[in-house]
Each structure stands twice: as C-alpha cells, then as structure tokens.
C-alpha cells in the first residue's frame, strides 16, 4: 500500500533536506478521485541519487560495457553513450525523505528505498482543486541558499472518460526490439526516432479529450531521454510507467527482459485505479504486446474497449499469428495496422456502448 505523505510541521527542527551532491528526478504520475470522500489521491514518485563514485565495481563495469560496445559498434557515438549510461551508474540515496510543496502546502515523502525511489500519495479535497486543472505542479523544497529547482507534475484524471495506454518501443519510438544489436544501438547510441505519424494519431485523440499513460519495460534511468523524445516529437503529455532496474540485481545486457510480466502487472493496476473509464491499448507485434493485450480484453471486457497493434512485419505468417492470438476476441475490439494514418479513420464506435 502506498504511504500517505504527512503534512510538514513548520516547527520541526530536523527538516529533511537535499544535499548539494544529491539530485532528484520527479516522474509524471496520474491522480484519481476517492468519490466517497470527495478527495483527490495525488501520487508523488521520484528518485534521489548522487553522481557515481568512479572507483570500484562501477568503474570496472563501465569499462566492461564500453569494451563490449566497442567490439559490437566500432563507429559508435561515444558522447551519446556516456550521456545515456550516466543514470545507470549513479549512487542511489536510501532512507531520505523529501519535502515537497504542492497546492500551497508542504508535505514530507516516505523514506527513499535502496534503489533511491520514493513513492507516496497526498490527499487533497476536491473543492481545493476547483475548477479541475489537467495537471497540477509541485516542487522539492530545498534550503534557502540552494537555488536548484526540482519540479514534478501530476495528471488529474476524472472518474469517467477515455484513456490510452500505450507501449513505447516500436509503437511510438523506433527501437527494433527483436534485433538485440539494433535495440542497443537505438537505445544508447543513436538519436531517438519516432514512428512516423503516431504523434498525429495521439494528438487527434488528445483533441477528443483522451488522456495518456506511457507503459514500457524500459528502465526508469531512461526516463529523461524518453521525456525529451516525447516533447520534441509532439506526443501528448501523460503519466510514465517504467521498470525498476539496478545493476546490482541484473546485467546491463538484460535491460529489456520480462516485458510481458511487467506489463501484465502494471496495466491492470491502472485499470483498477479508474474502474469507470474506458481504455484503448496501443502496442506492436515485436514481442508480447498482442498476448498481453488479448488477455486483458478477456479479463476486463467492460473497460478495455479497443486494442491497436502495429504490425511491424507485413509477413503473412505474422498476420496469421496475430489473428490467432485474438481469435477469441470480438472482431470489432481489435485492429492490426501498419501505417498510423489508418488509425485516423477509426471513429471509436465501439467506445460508445458496452
């Protein structure tokens, strides 16, 4: 159960503070309403860490990674690699509380855990946020002499409406997940490239009032680069749901494993958070999105109203595989597509009724 953030007592002498060698990243989340108590549940999720100690096992690991990538990609862009590897090699800060200012009041987060992440919820009465904004901003409260700014955002989602849960890799961003060598290059060595046309589809839906959740098996360490990609390519803002990853627990070359298990856990949690909303699921045929989404169609027929699968390969065998996966589903509840503009022709008739 996620802890409720405590209100800050301004008379407390030992206030939690962020040290000069510590950094914070806040991740965009989505809030829901507890209708019985007329209260918004505002999730706060962040990560606190220090720059890497360049001695010891992390330095040895970095040298090993560079050696492997030098062999596989002799023409690699070293600057891009160093930039994107940076957050994998930081030192996480455990047992730290963060002060945050939201809606004019200060709160204290629960302690950060071993991976540096901290999670909690703030309760705000609905009348305090009327009229309801689409997003509410907050920031870390630092010492007076500390001029840094760490800001976060929470999407306020009403109980009813339409939400889009979308994959990232090979759905909106070219990753080539099925080719591990290309996947690593596209993740760490090259500029992120969009799947052409998907931003137009999503913005068309955003114009209809749909809200977005980005769910990916990419690790949280890549969030700043994924957010930069989202903004640069004009995809709508939304909450992010990525995977926890520590080099102590897994090998670097295992980064994108277990996508099926991860999504099978995260997506139902979103559906349960908004039981009255209808959902569109968007993914691709590269790995296990079809299997996961087909199962969710069966388990949540009242909520999951349509599934879109981007078919990466036009191969007939691939088409037959995908059709077989959705064999038990209503034929009007799922769509295979190769070109995003095909989705602009979809009018969402299946969302208008149960």
Give the span between the Cα atoms of 267 and 307, in whole angstroms: 13
pLDDT in tens, 229-242: 999 999 999 999 99
CA atoms within 13 A on the CB side of 295: 11
Looking up tokens 């990916």 gives 216
Residue 14 pLDDT grade (very low, low, confident, very high; cuts 50, 70, 90): low
Which residue has better confidence, 319 or 199? Answer: 199
Q: Is the pLDDT of residue 73 over 60?
A: yes
Give the span between the Cα atoms of 205 and 175, in whole angstroms: 24
Residue 189 pLDDT grade (very low, low, confident, very high; cuts 50, 70, 90): confident
Looking up tokens 């099978």 gives 264
Q: Mean per-residue pLDDT for 266-272?
A: 97
Q: Is the pLDDT of residue 270 over 90?
A: yes
Q: What is the pLDDT of residue 233?
A: 98
| Residues in Cβ contact with 312 at an 8 Å cutoff, skipping those fewer than 6 apart | 170, 178, 284, 285, 286, 318
- Rg of the chain over all Cα atoms, to the nearest angstrom: 21
Q: Is the pLDDT of residue 352 over 60?
A: no
Ordered structural domains, the chain, with CATH: 6-51+91-156 (2.60.40), 162-351 (3.40.50.1000)
Phi, psi of 83 (to 5 degrees): -60, -50
Q: What is the mean pLDDT of the chain?
A: 88
The CB density around residue 51, as the number of other CB atoms within 10 Å, is 12
Residue 10 pLDDT grade (very low, low, confident, very high; cuts 50, 70, 90): very low
Q: Does the global pTM surpass 0.95?
A: no
Q: Quote the Cα angle for 269-273-276, to 5°.
A: 125
Nearest to 40 by CA among 105, 107, 130: 130
With a pLDDT cut of 90, the percent of the chain lying above it is 66
Give the span between the Cα atoms of 159 and 181, in whole angstroms: 43
> Euclidean distance between the first and final Cα of the chain, in Å?
31
- Show the tokens assigned to 352: 């208008």
């Amino acid at each position: 159960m996620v802890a409720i953030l405590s209100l800050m007592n301004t008379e407390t002498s030992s206030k939690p503070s962020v040290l000069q060698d510590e950094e914070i990243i806040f991740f965009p989340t989505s809030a829901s309403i507890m209708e019985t108590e007329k209260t918004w549940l505002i999730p706060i999720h962040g990560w606190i860490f220090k720059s890497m100690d360049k001695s010891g096992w992390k330095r040895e690991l970095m040298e090993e990674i560079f050696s492997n990538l030098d062999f596989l990609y002799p023409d690699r862009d070293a600057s891009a690699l160093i930039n994107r590897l940076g957050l994998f090699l930081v030192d996480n800060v455990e047992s730290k509380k963060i002060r945050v200012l939201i809606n004019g009041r200060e709160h204290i987060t629960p302690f950060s855990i071993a991976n540096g992440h901290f999670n909690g919820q703030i309760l705000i009465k609905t009348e305090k946020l009327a009229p309801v904004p689409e997003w509410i901003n907050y920031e870390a409260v630092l010492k007076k002499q500390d001029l840094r700014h760490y800001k976060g955002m929470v999407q306020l989602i009403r109980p009813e409406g339409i939400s889009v849960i979308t994959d990232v890799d090979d759905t909106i961003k070219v990753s080539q997940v099925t080719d591990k060598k290309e996947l690593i290059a596209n993740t760490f060595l090259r500029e992120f490239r969009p799947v052409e046309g998907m931003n137009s589809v999503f913005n068309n839906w955003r114009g209809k009032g749909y809200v977005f959740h980005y769910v990916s098996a990419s690790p949280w360490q890549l969030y700043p680069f994924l957010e930069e990609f989202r903004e640069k390519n004009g995809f709508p803002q939304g909450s992010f749901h990525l995977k926890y990853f520590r080099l102590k627990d897994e090998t670097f070359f295992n980064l994108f494993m277990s996508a099926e298990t991860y999504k099978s856990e995260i997506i139902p949690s979103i559906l349960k958070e908004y039981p009255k909303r209808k959902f569109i699921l968007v993914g691709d045929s590269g790995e296990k999105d079809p299997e996961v989404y087909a199962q969710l169609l069966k388990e949540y027929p009242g909520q999951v109203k349509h599934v879109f699968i981007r078919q990466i390969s036009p191969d007939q065998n691939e088409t037959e595989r995908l059709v077989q996966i959705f064999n038990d589903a209503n034929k009007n509840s799922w769509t295979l597509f190769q070109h995003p503009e095909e989705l602009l022709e979809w009018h969402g008739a299946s969302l208008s009724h149960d």
